[in-house]
Structure formats: C-alpha cells, structure tokens
Amino acid sequence: MFSSLWSGATADPHAPNFHPVSSRPDSDLFGELEPKDTEWLATSSGFVTETQTWYNTLDDGRVLMVQVIHSSVGVWYPTIQLTSKLYNPASKEKIWRSVNVSNFVSPPPGLDKRSSKSDQFTITHKTYAGSDYPESYTINANLSDDLQISLEIKRPASMPGFKVGKGPKGGYSYFGADTEKPEGYVIHRFWPRNVGSGHIIHKGQATPIHGPGMFVHAIQGMRPNLVASRWNFANFQSEEHDGVSAILMDFTTTDAYGRKGAGSGFVTVSVGSLVVGGKLALVTTETKWPDEPLPEAGNVMSRAVHLKPAHDPDTGYDAPTEIVYRWAGPSIGSEGPVDATLQVPLGDPSSYNGLIEKVDVLAEIPYVLKTVVNYVAGTKPYIYQWFKDARLVVKGPESVHPGLSEGLTIEGKLYSEATFIS
C-alpha cells in the first residue's frame, strides 16, 4: 500500500518518468480491441480504480449514464459502486443514484470476465460471430426501490472497439522511469458508438428508452490524485449521415510526472475517435508537453482547448466559457486525412447554458477512498457536466462518406465534462 502513496526515487532525477500512450507513431494509432481488453481486472491490491461506463443519448432528448466503479484502496477491501444519472434538459430533472454494491462477482458462472454481477445488478456480455452486431452488453440494475434499469447495448460490426496501439499493451500510459516496472498506469479502451434500447422504471412507471452512445473501460493503476490534475471528456452523437459520433478523452498529469522527471509535469494526453457514415473513420491521439506550444495544424490532432476561462466562486477554479474540440489524422481504410472541429460556447460559469451540474466529487465517492484522497492530497475535485445541442464540422475524402470533401456540418447532441482536481 505505502509504496504506491509516493513516487519512488530514480537514479537520474531528470529522467523521463511519464510515458504517454500518445507517444506511439501515427501508423500505430488504431488497435482493435481483443476480448481480454475489456475483461474486469477487479484487483484487490494497491490503489487501482476501474470503471465500465455506458453513455447513451436518447431519442426523447434525455441522456443516460450507467457506471460500475471498482475501487481498491491499499490494504482495505475493494469498494464497488453502481451509479446512474438520467437527465432531461427540457424539464431539468436529474435522476441520480449511487449505491454500494454487495457480492460483486466477475466472471459469473458460465461467462467470461467481460461480464459481472452483484446483488444490485447483472451485466452480461455476449458475442454473435458474423452478425451485424457482433457483441452486446445486457444491463439489469436495481438502483433503489423507485429506480430500475433494463438496457441492451449493441455494437455494430462497422464500428469496432479500439485502443491506441496494437497488442496487449495498447491503451497504456505509464508513470515512473521504468515502463516494465511502472509506478502506475492508465488504460482506456472504447466502443466509439453503439445502440442502446430498453426501459427505465421510475416510481413504478416504465419508460422505453432508445438511442446511440459510447462505452469506455478505464483503469487507473495509481492513486487518483497522482494520475492527473485535469480531465476532459466529450461524447457527440448524431443520427445524421447514417450515424456520426465524435468522442475525446484527455488528462493532464500532475507536476510530478513529465519527460524530465518531477517538476516537468502538466503533460496532456488526449485520445479520440470519429465515426462517420456508420463506420469508424478515425482514431486520434496527441501529447501536449508543457514547454512546447501546440501547432496550429498537424498530421494527427486530438485536443480539448478551454477558451476565455473565468473564475467560478462555486468551485474556486477558473472554468472555461468555451471549449473547442479537435480531431485530425489519417482515415481508417481510406485514402486521405480526416479533420473535425466541435466549437462549444458555454457562457459564464455563473449562468452556464447546457449545464447539468457541478459535481463535488468528494461528496459522491466512498468514505474510505474520500478519506485517503482528501487527507493525503488535500484535493477538492469538481466535475462540470454539460448536455446541449452542438455542431460538428468534418472534412475528409469522399471514400469515407459522400460530401465529405466539401465539408459537412452535422447537428447532434454533446455530453461533455471538464474535471478539475488540483
């Protein structure tokens, strides 16, 4: 436990002690997921936080998130939580539940470790070889006496799951001087677009739900406050042009981890993807080193840029009033580059448009984990969550989708987050 509380000394204090997944060459961007990539690690030793999260933009205008969190905190038994949020922008109603899970098992009898179950839920992964939808998750969750969710998530064959980089180490960023014996690591594996359908029972009333979304399996093999000082997340979904999605996740390290050792940190690592015409068209990744400005253009771009930040007295952070998301890189299976931009005005932090809420993370996470994070690090993390209409502008070769060479403006819904940790 205690060896993971503080970073270890290295022979050369100025040696690189952070190795981002975004340092892979352009030719190694798209790594198709293998079955083991989305299996539960579910470790009970060290500081490891593991999540499986499904986000779906529903046809009736609402947005749904379902998440399982497996937290191992040193010598304590793991804490497992099931959380869900359903938000209606028309009525501003938020249905939020977070429950501690008992008797978590992975794998359940007769299934592999992509499935899990507990007293509060069953999540079953199935494969259908040769099908238009080769794999799915079926989620049945009892979050409280007045909220139950039944949901089937299907991944189309034309939109494979991905990680950055091929092979078993694809998707990894390493902390520490030695990548073979790292002090910590971060992994992300994605389904860039899926189709969800089912129903929600709230206060005894059943409501059908349907809509596109994305899935991410993420693991932080390190104490959370050592991993990052900032996070950004974007999930744009549209039914136009046979299905479009643009997703992006980035994190910025603390000052302790960079390419010149402690004090050279605040390195931003970004991963993203673009689905156009119902096909995975692009996987992106990019590194922003603190001593180098980002170029205006590049062969591969993946970035979330906060513009005109303003002080938010609610949280104490300088929060964005506008965010610009960028994707660019070589198209998958076609000739020529693809470029996409999502420019999102937000307004002033005191009166954001599209704001769901500002989440005080320490008010939500398990008591044991909160005590460790707050006492050792003194952090006060907040997550800004927005859901709003947005326009994605995409250019690329005609072989990706008709009309793309002239540029397409695509209307859709954007769920986005900006997280401040320290």
- pLDDT for 365 equals 61
d(CA 209, CA 63): 10
Band (pLDDT 50/70/90 cuts) for residue 374 is very low
Collect contacts of 106-114 with beta carbons under 8 A, ≥24 apart: 106/39, 106/40, 106/42, 107/40, 112/35, 112/39, 113/39, 113/40, 113/42, 114/35, 114/38, 114/39, 114/40
- Which residue's structure tokens are 């993390």? 381
What are the b/e assignments for 103-134, b being 16+ CB within 10 Å? ebebbeeebebbbbbbebbbbbbeeeeeeeee
Residues forming a β-bridge with 87: 63, 94
The rounded Cα 250 to chain-centroid distance in angstroms is: 8
Strand pairing partners for 219? 50, 187
Quick one: pLDDT at residue 298? 87
pTM for this structure?
0.94
Within 22-177, strands assigned E span 30-32, 47-57, 63-73, 79-88, 93-100, 116-117, 121-127, 135-144, 147-155, 162-164, 172-175
**Is residue 306 a contact partner of residue 320, using CB atoms and an 8 Å limit?**
yes
State residue 43's pLDDT score: 86
Contacts of 307 (CB under 8 A, 6+ apart): 320, 321, 322, 323, 324
pLDDT in tens, 142-185: 999 999 999 999 999 999 999 999 999 999 999 999 999 999 99
Rounded Cα–Cα distance for residues 171 and 363 (Å)? 30
Residues 81 and 105 sit within 8 Å (Cβ to Cβ):
no
Q: How confident is the model at residue 297 (pLDDT cuts 50, 70, 90)?
A: confident
Report whether pLDDT(9) > 50.
no
pLDDT on residue 136: 98
Give me the domains of the chain, ranges plus CATH numbers.
2-420 (2.40.370.10)
**Whether pLDDT at 89 is above 50:** yes
Is it the case that residue 117 has pLDDT exceeding 90? yes
The pLDDT score that the predictor gives to residue 49 is 92
Structure tokens at 182: 């790292």
**Hey, what are 39's tokens?**
């299996």
Tell me whether residue 223 is exposed, middle or buried, using C-beta atoms within 10 angstroms of its C-beta: 0 to 12, 13 to 18, 19 or more: buried
Nearest-angstrom CA–CA distance, 175 and 369: 21
Asked whether the beta carbons of 221 and 186 are under 8 A apart, the reply is: yes
CB neighbours of residue 284 within 10 Å: 28
Mean of pLDDT values over 93-116: 96
Q: What is the pLDDT of residue 25?
A: 80
Alpha helix ranges (H) inside 85-181? none
Residues 229-239 have pLDDT tens digits of 999 999 999 99
What does pLDDT average to over the chain?
Answer: 92
Note the pLDDT of residue 11: 60
Query: What distances in angstroms separate CA 307 from CA 95, 317, 348, one per listed residue?
Result: 31, 14, 12
Encode pLDDT of 13-47 as tens digits: 889 999 999 988 877 899 999 999 999 999 877 88
Q: What percent of the chain has pLDDT over 70?
A: 93
What is the rounded distance in angstroms from the CA atom of residue 95 to the CA atom of residue 85?
6
Please, which pLDDT band fits residue 307 given cuts at 50, 70 and 90? very high
* Residue 35 pLDDT: 96
pLDDT for residue 46? 82
pLDDT-derived band at 376, boundaries 50, 70, 90: very low
Task: Return the amino acid letter for 156.
Answer: P
Displacement of CA 141 from its chain's centroid (Å):
21
pLDDT surpasses 60 at 314:
yes
Half-sphere exposure in the Cβ direction for 93 (13 Å, CA): 8
Q: What is the mean pLDDT of residues 266-292?
A: 97
The tens digit of pLDDT for each residue in 183-226 reads 999 999 999 999 999 999 999 999 999 999 999 999 999 987 78
Q: Which of 62-76, 153-167, 370-384 has the highest mean pLDDT?
A: 153-167
